Amino acid sequence: MQRGRMHSVRLFIVVKGTRIRACSRVERAELTEGRLYMGKRWIMHVDMDAFYASVEQRDNSALRGRPVIVGGISERGVVATASYEARQYGVHSALSIKKARRLCPDGVFLRPRIAYYKNISLQIRRIFANYSPYIEPLSLDEAFLDISGMELQYSDVREIGKAVKAEIKEKTGLTASAGIGPNKFLAKLASDLEKPDGFVLIPYGKEREILAPLPIRKLWGVGKVTENKLIAAGYKTIGDIAAASPEMLQAVAGNQGRHLFQLAHGKDTRTVESERRSKSVGSEHTYEHDLRQREEIDGQLRILAAEVARRLRRQGLMGRTITLKIRYTDFETITRSYTFDSAGVYSEKQLYFSAQKLYAKNTLGAAVRLLGLTVSQLHSLAVQENLFSEDDVIKETVTTVIDKIQRRFGTQAIMKGPLQAVSDDGFKEDFDKKE
């Protein structure tokens, strides 16, 4: 029986005197005392409260009760995390540091200690492992857990969430908000309803009742643009979305309409992926000064292409979809994507030329403060060796050597020369032809 299907029956083996172990299939086991249990699917989402800022307040008592903002310190930086004291001033993640200083002049601004936060995150993840073998980390401060069957160890499924929160508090001194529901969407939504230090359960049969009065921005995937479109069309609450038809929603939100309709009814078929493979590989830079000249922008696109290509090679991956992110000085952000029919792209040359083409399409001509380049629809790098010319083999060998030098001495230790206007594999010609 395949694990995680919505309409399949999951089996759980419960052994007396031990912690429950959820099973995805009927496994061979020697049971002296035990039973098979057919249980409901329960997903828990745990989100640490203002994680970076809370760690800093925990470690420094002088910061407790004060507005703490963690992020880039320069005027061009952005907020990574703001304590709840800082949020009262309107400071939030992704806000520019310049605006954060204006909103909260008495705030304490700190650089992030990512390596330190990672260690604490691993500590929290070990706590999660006490409650489920199926853990899907989303970032350093949040994760999904499939806790189906664990209710057999507790008087009520709510006790599982309380136990996780209590153990995190005991072992780390930090608070977390948790949500439990029949699926990932409902669990994540529940964890956000009573922050900080909150806990909410959305039980079976109560999905639509709880969802109906909530604003449409609570639906997974609804950003500002989609929200404005839906409000303009008369949809203000999730209940309004649920009362509509998929066709009506599709007329407003395009292909996303059917997805929103399913979510509004509390339906989400996604499973907890305990061994997640990277869905994308990318890099982005926020610049100390605005980029205005095309030559300047091309130079930064080249740097981004080299970084992403290096990361793809390191993981042995290639991808079919390339996305360019552009943020202008007024913080307006646009993305441009292109998907290839071929197996995919992976080289610096391919990425650079695609980024150039994407940048040239529908740009506003304004100064740029951030550029990002991402490759998605990933799969294993597969190039037929017999298609390599002698020159190609030499190029690949040189690239490997450059990667090793840069890993040891830094990316500036050695740089490649100018790229040719046309790639050897016909990539640029294919791009032009398909447009």
Q: Tokens 């981004």 identify what position?
A: 304
- Is the domain of 159 the same as that of 75? yes
pLDDT at site 166: 97
Same domain, 34 and 88: no
Domain identity same for 195 and 241: no
In terms of domains, do 49 and 188 share one?
Answer: yes
State whether 220 and 130 are in the same domain.
Answer: no
Looking at residue 238, what is its pLDDT? 96
Boundary residue ending a domain (164, 189, 204): 204
Percentage, residues of the chain above pLDDT 90: 56
Query: What band does 307 get if pLDDT is binned at 50, 70 and 90?
Result: very high
Mean pLDDT of 406-420: 49
Highest average pLDDT, of 262-271, 283-292, 307-316, 406-415, comes from 262-271
Please check the confidence at residue 385 and state whether its pLDDT lies above 50.
Answer: no
Residue 24 has pLDDT above 50, yes or no: no
- How is the chain split among helix, strand and coil, in percent rounded to 5? 40, 20, 40
* Max CA distance (Å), the chain: 75
211 in the same domain as 195? no
CA 12/CA 156 separation, integer angstroms: 17
| 25, part of any domain | yes
Domain count along the chain: 4
265-301: pLDDT as tens digits: 999 999 998 866 668 899 999 888 889 899 999 999 9
Regarding whether 66 and 14 lie in a shared domain, the answer is no
**Where is pLDDT greater, at 357 or 152?**
357
Nearest Cα residue to 218 out of 241, 238, 239:
238
**What pLDDT is recorded for position 326?**
93
Q: Tell whether 190 and 46 lie within a shared domain.
A: yes
Residue 20 pLDDT level (bands cut at 50, 70, 90): very low
Q: Domain holding 145: CATH number?
A: 3.30.70.270
Cα–Cα nearest to 45, from 192, 219, 169: 192
Of the residues 56, 136, 142, 307, which is catalytic? Answer: 142
In a domain, 271, yes or no: no
pLDDT of residue 150: 80
Average pLDDT on 298-316 reads 91
Query: Does residue 93 lie in a domain region?
Result: yes
Using CA atoms in the order 150, 186, 375, 94, what is the torsion angle rounded to 10 degrees? -110
Average pLDDT, rounded, for the chain: 81
pLDDT at 390 over 60: no
Burial of residue 65 (number of CB atoms within 10 Å: 0-12, 13-18, 19+): exposed
Indicate if 30 belongs to the active site: no
- Structural domain range at position 174: 40-204
For residue 272, being part of any structural domain is answered with no
Q: Please identify which residue in the block is written with the tokens 């963690």.
A: 70
Q: What is the pLDDT of residue 419?
A: 54
| Amino acid 130: pLDDT | 92
Asked, for residue 269, whether it belongs to a domain, the answer is: no
CATH of the domain at 249: 1.10.150.20
- pTM metric for this prediction: 0.65
pLDDT of residue 254: 87
Same domain, 394 and 347: yes
* CATH code (residue 418): 3.30.1490.100
**pLDDT exceeds cutoff 90 at 16:** no
Pick the range with the lowest mean pLDDT from 59-63, 136-140, 286-290, 359-363.
359-363
pLDDT exceeds 90 at position 34: no
User: Are 23 and 83 found together in one domain?
Assistant: no
Q: Are residues 57 and 200 located together in one domain of the fold?
A: yes
Q: At 161, is the secondary structure helix, strand, or coil?
A: helix
